Amino acid sequence: MSTLLTESVASATRTGPPAATPPPRKKQSSSALKAWATRAPLLPALIFLIVVTQLPFVATLVISLFDWNAFSPGNRSFAGLSNYATVATDAALRESVLTTILLTASVVITSVVLGLLLALLLDRTFKGRGLVRTMLITPFLVVPVASALLWKHVLYNPEYGLLNGSLAWLADLLGVEGPAQPDWISSMPLLAVEASLVWQWTPFMMLILLAGLQSRPLDLVEAARLDGASAWQIFRYLTLPHLRRYLELGALLGSIYIVQNFDAVFTITKGGLGTANLPYTVYQTFYEAHEYGLASAAGVLVVIGSIIIATFALRVASSLFSEEVSRG
């Protein structure tokens, strides 16, 4: 026993006490200071963003809990969630929600299909490709109100519109009696709004899909051609799977903006003939009926729906960027 004790004491004397590691407080404090120094220039922009976007939303959220009509401001009272119940059960609001879904789905699907066809065209090499690309991008650069006015007066007008003028010219060319001058907006109001939005948003889809086409691995395409694959087989098994993320991103981003579209509905149809979408109904409730509580509740629901769509869009975008980084 004494021998074991002596050996343990000797080994402890040889090794000595373990060296004390210096506390990492200085490193942590310096890294925290560097992080704050890096983020400090962004603080004014962050504060401005909060003041401009979040405070109005909080005010809208508070107003949505009150029964508040501008014609009788003295009768304002706390209503709780009754405004949301009214929004959910009101027939006109439900119809506007269905109109919004139909308008958004039709415009997004049509724009994606046309944008894909145009992107496939511009992915080829031909004379004047730069000029054609610039002309195709132009509709997306037009101010939305100007675009809607262009469609309403230049194209749809029954007296001097381009569509009726083209029909009359074609009838004269064929030597037949010209058709009656149709009123395009009255005969097909929702389709008239959809056509103007498709014209405006197709270039946006085309740009996204063209970027996806130009990021394809060309060696795989050349190998498929050498193996005897047809153009359809290359598109079906190589191009389309590669464009899946870009198609999803374009559809989600387009949905975010078209759900909130107000300009085309207000300018072309004034929300009549079954074309009132949810943003126009919120405007109507706020500015015409002066029901601030109901309008705020409907606006909050629009924001929640947009946030849900934007969340999916951000996930798709982040996965797309991570794939590009991993390839690089």
Task: Return the pLDDT at 9.
Answer: 44
* Residues contacting 311, CB < 8 A, separation 6+: none
22: pLDDT confidence band, cut at 50, 70 and 90?
Answer: low
Measure the CA angle with vertex 322, ends 317 and 326; round to 5°.
150
Task: Return the pLDDT at 8.
Answer: 45
Rounded alpha-carbon distances, angstroms, from residue 292 to 147, 226, 257, 261, 263:
30, 66, 24, 21, 21
pLDDT tens-digit readout, 255-279: 888 888 888 999 999 888 888 888 8
CA distance 182 to 29: 74
**Burial (0-12, 13-18, 19+ Cβ within 10 Å), 196:** buried
Whether the Cβ atoms of residue 273 and residue 118 lie closer than 8 Å to each other: no
User: Taking the domains of the chain in order of start, what are their residue ranges?
Assistant: 64-70+77-327
**CA 156 centroid distance within chain:** 28
- Looking at per-residue pLDDT, the higher value among 26 and 116 belongs to 116
Dihedral in degrees, nearest 10, Cα atoms 28, 33, 34, 36: 120
3-state secondary structure 50-108: HHHHHHHHHHHHHHCCEECECCCHHHCEECCCHHHHHHHHCHHHHHHHHHHHHHHHHHH
Q: What is the largest CA-CA distance in the chain?
A: 126
110-148 as b/e: b if 16+ CB within 10 A: bbbebbbebbbebeeeeeeeeeebeebeebbeeebeebb
pLDDT tens-digit readout, 216-251: 888 888 888 888 888 888 888 888 888 888 888 888
Percent of residues in the chain assigned helix, strand, coil, to nearest 5: 80, 0, 20
Average pLDDT, the chain: 80
pLDDT tens-digit readout, 161-170: 888 888 888 8
Measure the CA angle with vertex 267, ends 266 and 271; round to 5°.
35
pLDDT tens-digit readout, 62-73: 888 888 877 777
Residue 291 three-state SS:
strand
CA distance 116 to 223: 23
What phi and psi values does residue 260 have, to the nearest 5 degrees? -95, 10
- As a whole number, mean pLDDT of residues 139-149 equals 90
Residue 142 three-state SS:
coil
28: pLDDT confidence band, cut at 50, 70 and 90?
Answer: low
55 residue type, one letter: L
Is the pLDDT assigned to residue 146 strictly greater than 80? yes
Q: Which CATH class is domain 64-70+77-327?
A: mainly alpha
Nearest to 272 by CA among 288, 260, 249: 288
Task: Return the pLDDT at 3.
Answer: 47
Task: Return the pLDDT at 38.
Answer: 74
Stated length of the chain: 328
58 residue type, one letter: V
Count CB-CB contacts under 10 A for residue 304: 9
Is the pLDDT assigned to residue 12 strictly greater than 50? no
Q: What is the DSSP string of 204-238?
A: HHHHHHHHHHHTS-HHHHHHHHHTT--HHHHIIII
Is the pLDDT assigned to residue 25 strictly greater than 60? no
Tokens of 238: 């190589």
185-199, 233-247, 306-320: the lowest-pLDDT one: 306-320
Measure the CA angle with vertex 198, ends 125 and 103; round to 5°.
150
321: pLDDT confidence band, cut at 50, 70 and 90?
Answer: low
- Looking at per-residue pLDDT, the higher value among 35 and 233 belongs to 233
Tokens of 235: 């598109």
